[in-house]
Amino acid sequence: MSRLTKIVALGIAAAAVAAVTAACGTQKIDVPKSQTALYHGAVLFNQRCSGCHTLSYAAANGSAPNIRTAQANSGPNFNQRCERPIDRVLYAIENGGFSGAYMPQNVVVGQDAIDVAKFVATYAGREAPAEIGVTACQKQALGTLPAGSAQPTASTNGTPTATTAASVTPRKSATLVASVKRSPPARAKRPAKQAARS
């Protein structure tokens, strides 16, 4: 190999390393700042949730990309997993996910929780592969937040103030109702005629 070829090869290798190094750490939040609540939710998601969850719009890469290398606390990959309706996301934030095993309850609260829930419900599932018979995440209704979802937050003078949640699209969530643990229904008493026949 001639000296000129070695110099050219070394220069190309150095340029490749520089390009890769320059690309490291350049992922950024990909939500317009003009959408204040969604952008704020993305920033909070990056700060509080990116250790376990992946969502590219918040520059979060916490989930293990391969199930074989996943750890117990690797949270769902929200690039792939649809999280709608919004009240389901808020439920997960308030209750430490749906299993309650690793995610802390109330990782964000008040208006911060509402902003994160709006962000996740809006941007999750955008990279999910199309499946036959499954409605794409963006075609599912975003839903609404329950009327009592506003939690008190501290104001600048120290007195609590209530935050309010704006509805996005009206829809009742059967998913949330199904996911809430309930006590078994009480046994109904049989009418006297049925009891006599038994």
Residues 103, 75: contact at Cβ < 8 Å?
yes
- Asked whether residue 13 is domain-assigned, the answer is no
> What pLDDT does residue 176 have?
35
| Structural domain total, the chain | 1
- Asked whether residue 193 is domain-assigned, the answer is no
Over residues 55-110, the pLDDT tens digits come to 999 999 887 777 677 777 778 889 999 999 999 999 999 998 887 678 889 999 99
- Asked whether residue 72 is domain-assigned, the answer is yes
Neighbouring CB atoms inside 10 A of 119's CB total 29
Q: What percent of the chain has pLDDT over 70?
A: 62
- Asked whether residue 23 is domain-assigned, the answer is no
* Confidence check: pLDDT of 174 > 90: no
Euclidean distance between the first and final Cα of the chain, in Å? 97
Q: What is the three-class DSSP state of 89?
A: helix
> What pLDDT does residue 14 have?
62
Segments forming the whole domain that contains residue 96:
28-179
Instruction: Please name the residue that has the structure tokens 């690797």.
Output: 74
- Asked whether residue 132 is domain-assigned, the answer is yes
Hey, what are 194's tokens?
A: 């049925």
Which CATH number do you get for residue 133?
1.10.760.10
- Asked whether residue 18 is domain-assigned, the answer is no
Q: Is the dihedral of CA 35, 30, 98, 152 positive or negative?
A: negative
Q: Is the dihedral of CA 139, 121, 40, 159 positive or negative?
A: positive
